[in-house]
Structure 1
């Protein structure tokens, strides 16, 4: 018996080392990026409607339905509309059968009544099943829950219509939802909406979020046996089932991704070699634009698609309905993809195939097979083209500008917009852009350009009609500027990624990020590393001498003075002026994140009572705690009187005035000091 246990243990270790060894080979030799692929396709692709595959079959029972297309079958509780089982490649149920049937594959929202603020989790269980389409090539099911007010304390005031679609020859299924409010319904605040799948932890142990971020993961039980850290999501693994994970930190927020990159992620089972992937082919229904960050897959094993949330933005991004406001929106479809390879093949090739499938699904958007008038087909949509140039000190191209259509608002309002649809693209090197597949409606055109501060907005309303092709012509973005640059710190890219990110506490590491400089900000506990580096005196930065890559801490946080007590900190920027020009100087202050913080600025008078400027209390994005390198973007243009400056050395003092806890603070994106235009 001892010998047998030893062999089992050795086999487990071999599998772990096998996966870690081959990941580098797969990523370096077989990886494809998100825009092109030359990988030879050896895995099954699904030609929709192909007669080479068995017909789709629907079996309706008293309390559930089964949809089977010969490649996989799925069981859905009826009329609730929760996925209770997925049978694929000899696995009777990919989903975790230890969970209740309502806790395996489901939609949910977090909401509250504004009058009492009590948080409710509503799993949106359906009340009636409707078979919308049922033929050899496609089955589409609708699980509806009309809102009646009879259960207003437990159900959000929405009509819910959850859809599931299975196609002939498709190795996966689609899901989308239609949420609707009618005029006069009760007020509601909705903070999160998503679709979730919880998998068998004995099978799915390897997670992939991107080429760089993939690894063997702890189980839910490993987390339960671990040591909770500063907040519940972060756990130190003390007794994991896989000994190689002992001493690591696990936190679901370490695997968050920006919307623009959050298109495919999921899990790999090595025996049998099977993959389970969440593919989100379009961001049109997600809120807050392309750089809004959100959760992906995480320990459990769990995979999900977040449609909207307050993560990395704050409570202000909650969807608030007041005064009986009507509303309707389609979320999805997302595609749950199942793939497999022969037993002798490398299981990590499943990730490569999943990326190819994502490209195919993206290219197919908008789908032409959905049975809903609320989802426009390609011919019912429009497109907008144009070119963006930048007029700063000199004219330049809007190189790689982010350009998007979002509901009408103010410049930059798209990053807090949460009720409509948004459509974004990235311009080419010369600023040319094309936004396609836009739903009919009224929009403003917004943009920002990496390398420049500020937001662009085309002031006139853009009307998108079915089939319309609108040429915007040449658009000119004039970034905020009052004079020539005297000095600058950072790069205006809306993140703090270029600044110094310290090594984590060696006892609180996630080994995945130990060698990844670009992702090192995702380590746990970096907020306390500031105190380790500056135990007594705060950061001092000398313009022309210091280097922001090594000398500017990535987050302006509080100092830990012991006993869980945190006090505000003041950073000093020293700069020299040969002479002072009469007139107003300007500080362009761009923040990449703010969390319950206040930045006050003083010039050459640290002890003075009145600051030159204060942001006031701003932000609730919590990006510091959630391992983000940015949250919401803030920009301030601050006047500095010439009388406050002097020839020689000057000092600018940046104080984050709010103490109390480690997570109150800001991240700087960019600081620029401008002189007045010199009068000859």
Structure 2
């Protein structure tokens, strides 16, 4: 019996062992069929996040910082990022480029009367700001002297880089300063640039709906140049599927309020490279300012100052020895990877980049910056309140300023924030009841501004606001009374500071970007301005109030007419409307809001197309260039035009809108909103 028991136990053991082996093979087979979707932020080596940050080496020519996740190499003393080692890739930057053409800062600048040039801000001094097992921060700086006048932009520059423990990336910021009495200068663009490996990064992502496989740089070189250098028709691309498409970096522009994360994916390696901007405080011209993101290169940009979609009306001029100092950034360069290198895994990298962006936004202002010029959360203040709108022709009672954009910016007139490039700005969007909280505001003096979707004009609080360390300012209820002289007789469009609601035509089939086939972003297609002459071959646009639908019958841009042989013709649009019971006293009002203007003069006439001078003219306005750059808006302009009753008729009336400047293709305006008001009711 004892031997029988032993044999039974042995049999049971072998059965158990066989089941374990079978289970092992089953699990292995499943693992082979199911790719692992987990993001490996530490690359493929599973490096412990507790690994200390090391200032690995310092030589006369290079500085190397390593945290086990990324290894970053800088040129010394210039301070360019010349190498990023990640996930067994020796360098995700384009190593074939010169050292100062991989990861670098630059400024477009000029002294008045001179031609603009690039300064790549090559530094002359290297300093270790902080160094321990949790963080290394280094500085590459230079000091401007009068002997450098005409050679370097007159700025003291301190470029800072931070590598942190357990963080898969690099923090980048710069402190720029000009001292009192320094030469006059214009600085039209300030940015940081990263150029990635051309043979590796082919997939670009800007938003959930704007991402795609991109052309190669050589595809642009072999393509057909279009109306301006940035736009190229791809005739013989490396990827045949892109043949016949247009590539233009301005098609990938984005409003700053929406520009939080963008970058590239190397699909074969399962690696993503992302530029995350956690705050807009150091950007210019408010939340609606548009700027570049990523484009063919593969290139990723952190744009801090530019005249794109605004022109020189953005105040980038420094005159009469004006002193100035500003911290740009930090922005975060984030790298991530996936274990399964399959095309369907690409969304995983993008989704993870968005999650990382949210983490960075929540962490703002960062508490690890080692510069006295970057205030901590405790050193900042906040402003809160509620904004209402009072327009008695809409509602006798105050209305909530739903979804209003409310911000603090340097003191100025109402709306001046959209032309400011020198100070800091802090914006938020109010809730459905107009409640707002503006947090993490640097100490200083500001004006409080606002604009409300659906309401014309700009609001400004009557007092300037002084932010001090730790303050929590709670304002009384604010009431905005928008421009209004009388009841609405008719209106065209919706007041949201864009022309997006108007008729955007289909692009030419031979000049398309397949990314923008959907209706929402169709305005980003190339060449839409030329469609005006196709649709209105013999006569200009005529809009019948009460009959026509502005989404179908109001062209998105009031452009010139191309007559051929490089000649252009001014165009005149007509608004026809009936007016019953004309008042013979008082004035009517035409509220005319423009979403953009480029080298334009809009003349307005009432019932007399030949009236000279015009009953109203804007004069020469605008350098937005939003028509060519697919922007749907530039700077906002509002004109309140009084119309004496003697210029109107009982019955049929016509308003003539003439864009009178016609030297080129891209002169024109975009309308935001037009409203015709009756005389004031007493």
* Partner Cα separation in structure 2 for residue 318 and residue 97 of structure 1: 37
- Measure, in 1, the Cα distance between the counterparts of 2:49 and 2:129: 24
Distance 1:188 1:344 in 2: 49
Q: CA offsets, 1:566-594, max 9 Å, x none?
A: 11100000000112012100000000000
Alignment of 1:160-309 (within 5 A): 160-309=157-306
2:679 is the alignment partner of 1:673:
no
- In the other structure, the counterpart of 2:338 is 341
Q: Is the 8 A contact 2:572 2:657 kept in 1?
A: yes
Say if 1:171 and 1:339, in contact at 8 Å, map to a contact too. Answer: yes
Q: CA-to-partner distance for each residue in 1:216-247, whole Å, 9 max, x for gaps? A: 00111111111111110001111111111111
Is 1:511 matched up with 2:508? no
TM-score in terms of structure 2 length: 0.92
What is the alpha-carbon distance in structure 2 between the residues aligned to residue 52 and residue 240 of structure 1?
A: 42
Which residue, out of 549, 562, 573, partners 1:560?
562
- Residue aligning to 1:483: 486
Secondary structure of the residue that 2:655 maps to in structure 1? Answer: strand
Following superposition of structure 1 onto structure 2, how do residues 77-96 of structure 1 map, counting pairs within 5 Å? 77-96=75-94
Separation in 2, partners of 1:607, 1:381: 58
After superposition, where does 1:521-600 map in structure 2 within 5 Å?
521-581=523-583, 582-600=585-603
Contact 1:588 1:672 in 2 (8 A): yes
What is the CA distance between 1:41 and its match in structure 2?
7.8
2-side partners of 1:62 and 1:117: how far apart?
36
Unaligned runs of 5+ in 2: 1-36
**In structure 2, what is the Cα distance between the partners aligned to 1:608 and 1:315?**
32
Task: Give yes or no for the alignment of 1:353 onto 2:324.
Answer: no
- Whole-angstrom distance in 2 between the partners of 1:626 and 1:648: 41
Deviations 1:244-296 (A, max 9, x none): 11111000000000010011000001111000000000000001000000000
Deviations 1:152-175 (A, max 9, x none): 222000000000000000000100
Structure 1 residue 42 displacement after superposition: 5.1
1:520/1:314 Cα in 2 relative to 1: closer, same or farther (>3 Å)? same
Who is 2:9 aligned against?
none
Alignment of 1:635 onto 2:638 = yes
Shift of 1:531: 0.6
CA deviation profile, 1:378-425 (whole Å, cap 9, x unmatched): 000000000000001222100000000000000000000111100000
Question: Is the Cα–Cα contact under 8 Å of residues 42 and 69 in structure 2 kept in the other structure?
Answer: no
For the residue of structure 1 that corresponds to 2:464, the secondary structure is: strand
Q: 1:101 aligns with which of 83, 96, 99?
A: 99
Segments ≥4 residues shifted beyond 6 Å: none
CA distance in 1, matches of 2:202, 2:356: 22
Q: Is structure 2 residue 442 aligned with structure 1 residue 406?
A: no
Counterpart residue number, 1:381: 380
TM-score, structure 1 normalization? 0.92
For the 8 Å contact 1:279–1:358, the answer to whether it is kept is: yes
Describe the shift of the 1:52–1:101 C-alpha distance in structure 2 as closer, same or farther (beyond 3 A): closer
Partner secondary structure for residue 460 of structure 1 = coil
Deviations 1:298-332 (A, max 9, x none): 01100011001000000222521111111110000
1:51 Cα deviation (Å)? 7.9
**Match of residue 661 from structure 1:** 664
- How far apart, CA to CA, are the structure 2 residues paired with 1:347 and 1:495? 33
Aligned match for 2:147, one of 146, 150, 153:
150
**Structure 1 unaligned runs (5+)?**
1-39
CA distance in 2, matches of 1:289, 1:668: 20
Higher Cα Rg: structure 1 or 2? 2
Aligned counterparts of 2:256 and 2:186: Cα–Cα separation in 1: 22
The answer to whether 1:311 aligns with 2:276 is no
Larger mean CA deviation between 430-439 and 340-349 belongs to 340-349
Equivalent pairs, count? 635
Indicate the residue corresponding to 2:441 in structure 1: 438
2:29 is matched with which residue?
Answer: none
SS of 1:459's equivalent?
coil
Q: Is the 8 A contact 2:223 2:236 kept in 1?
A: yes
Partners of 2:171 and 2:49 lie apart in 1 by: 21
Shift, 1:523, TM fit:
0.5
* SS at structure 1 position matched to 2:199: coil
The answer to whether the 8 Å contact 1:162/1:177 transfers is yes
Quote how far apart the aligned CAs of 1:151 are: 2.1
Secondary structure, in 3 states, of the residue corresponding to 2:463? strand
